[in-house]
Amino acid sequence: MSEQLKVKTMQEFMAEGKQPEILFWVGSAGSYDDRAKKITRAFVKLLNKAEVDFAVLGTEESSTGDVAKRAGNEFLFQMQAMMNIELLNGYEVKRIVTCDPHSYNTIKNEYPDLDGKYNVVHHTEYLKELIDNGRLSITGEGYKGKRITFHDPCYLGRANSVFDAPREVLAKTNADLVEMKRHKKTALCCGAGGAQMFKEPEKGDMDINVMRTQDALETNPNIIATGCPYCNTMMTDGIKAHEKEGSVTVMDVAELLANSQGL
């Protein structure tokens, strides 16, 4: 149904004897999860529009090991990390962009120790850069008149102090940005981190994503924006728990920007 995306792998660049500007680390969620794949595609549409010469690892990519590490499996993490680093260093990768704050955090902060030293940016930071450089021109009314609230992913915000880039990109869509009571440094987790995404929560009296969605709903939004595929899943489930799926949607910053440009 959809138009063809222009995506080249590192191998193809190598065969042509060229280096891409940047490597797009798709991540496991972005590669396999049906909802997250839409985010991946939206981001690639923007990259295509800005004519960015990017590459992906494709079938050579493997889990960063982030979730194994948070679960306590340092062995598995370091095995994944070293395999990935060997591959990335082999391709002489210098710069990496990813839509997943967990991959972002791990590659940026935990790989250098293991000889994986790259300039790593989150896709919201990269989109801001493309807009600021004039490579990605944003036009039209976009989401004018729509209320959007941004949920800070823990591993982007608190963990790495990236608070402004996603908000600045959202502002380009002309939406009315409204903040939740707890935001930026004091944002509440969506409940997915620390490997919780892959297990049932411990016994309690509420699910974390339901509580966080409540925070978001209190701002009376049309759209809840996130910058993380896992947050996206959790908030979407939260919306269902609050029976608001008819009036509120959960979208990634990249999707909102792409939609605002009719991509």
Stretch 110-169 residues interacting with another protein (CB under 8 A): 110, 113-114, 154-155, 158-161
169: Cβ–Cβ under 8 A, 6 or more apart, which residues?
A: 124, 127, 128, 131, 253, 257
For the CB of residue 184, give the shortest distance to another protein in the complex, in Å: 10
Which range in 87-95, 122-130, 164-172, 193-201 contacts another protein by CB under 8 A? Answer: 193-201
Residue count at the site for another protein (CB under 8 A)? 72
Question: With binding defined as CB under 8 A, does residue 208 bind another protein?
Answer: yes
Q: Which amino acid is at 112?
A: P
Residue number with CB closer to another protein (63 or 261): 63
* Beta-carbon contacts of residue 116 (< 8 Å; ≥ 6 apart): 81, 84, 85, 88, 89, 107
Decide: 106 and 65 in contact? Cβ < 8 Å: yes
* Smaller CB separation from another protein, 117 or 158: 158
Q: Which residue has the tokens 């974390």?
A: 208
In this structure, what are the phi and psi dihedrals at residue 198, rounded to the nearest 5 degrees?
Answer: -105, 10
Site residues (CB under 8 A) for another protein, limited to 224-263: none
Query: Which residues ranging from 23 to 52 are in contact with another protein (CB under 8 A)?
Result: 26, 28, 30-33, 37, 40-41, 44
CA distance 62 to 119: 19
| 68 counts as binding another protein under rule CB under 8 A | yes
Q: What Cα–Cα distance (Å) separates residue 211 from each residue in 33, 90, 190, 193? A: 24, 45, 8, 15
Q: Which stretch binds another protein (CB under 8 A): 70-78, 142-150, 220-228, 245-253?
A: 70-78
> In whole angstroms, how far apart are CA 105 and each of 7, 62, 228, 247?
24, 16, 12, 33
Q: Does 9 bind another protein (CB under 8 A)?
A: yes
Applying the rule CB under 8 A, the residues between 75 and 114 that interact with another protein are 75-76, 78-80, 82-83, 105, 109-110, 113-114
Listed ranges 67-75, 139-147, 220-228, 248-256: which one lies at the site for another protein (CB under 8 A) = 67-75
Least Å distance, CB 171 to another protein, is 25
Nearest in space to 125 (alpha carbons), one of 183, 164, 181, 175: 164
